[in-house]
Amino acid sequence: MAVVAGPCRPARGHAEKKAPPAVAICISGLLRSFNSTAGNILTTMVRPIRDVADVFMALDPRLDEYHNHPTTMNATGVQIREWTAPFNPLVLQVQRRAGQNEGLKDCLRMIEAEELARCRSYDWVVRLRPDVAYTCRLPTIEEWPPFRRASARAPKAHRPRPPWVLSDWIFVENYTTRSVAVKDVWAVMDRSAASVYMRDWPRKCGCNGEHGINEEDLGCTLSQGRVEVGAALTPGVPLRRIVRTWESGRVEPNCSACRTLRWNETRWFSTLEQHAHIAQGR
């Protein structure tokens, strides 16, 4: 955990702990179906690491897909407080934004401000969206940091050096030029990669949008930032699904059938075969 210069103070709510939380959880984006997904997100992505994580929320109050329509419905302040209270966010910011990158950048500013105040940086950042439900749980912190430990079964396990980002879907478009599309819905990353991921994603590689413009822009940004990219493999089931407001079907808050994500199932871009296609819940 890097030390940041500046006036220090104890991490809020963690004064009894020996060290500040190691993980920053960023939940950003349009609220959409958050009233349905909040319990699932809390169970799968927050509670496994709750004691060592701070939650930052940069939310857009809109509940539907009409991004700039004047009659778009917003969640009320009472609803937002009810849905977000179980997460006990360190910082909660709710406002309309021009796009998802604005929320990510606001989240990064919150993280940087907290790091400056406590004089220590986070080790890892988890990027989540309010409208996504998960079929896997994060490992408890005893299994972190991801990929650092080899095992008897995998003594030569690939262990990426920072900066790295773990997504749940990758498409390698051009292995020679390191052109890769990266799904932009969920990510676990080391802190240095967050400074690349959680900013604007300019059109740098001239991709054609075949695998999603945002995905290709993010892939280009990470490649040019020399960020190693991995895909979390969950055999038989996608890691997550986007929950649309108009779709039927209840999200199970306790996720009783969820398995724990295993870091050693990750495939990394540097180890992928040329033009390999790894898809999880596209």
> Out of 76-85, 104-113, 148-157, 189-198, which region has the weakest mean confidence (pLDDT)?
148-157
pLDDT in tens, 75-90: 889 999 999 999 999 9
Q: Kindly provide the b/e burial profile for residues 227-251, where b requires at least 16 CB atoms within 10 angstroms of the residue's own CB.
A: bbbbbbebeeeebbbebebeeeeeb
Backbone torsions φ then ψ of 16, nearest 5 degrees: -80, -10
| Whether 273 contacts 58, CB under 8 Å | no
Q: What is the pLDDT of residue 281?
A: 37
CA atoms of 202 and 40, how far apart (whole Å): 32
> Out of 136-145, 184-193, 242-251, which region has the weakest mean confidence (pLDDT)?
242-251
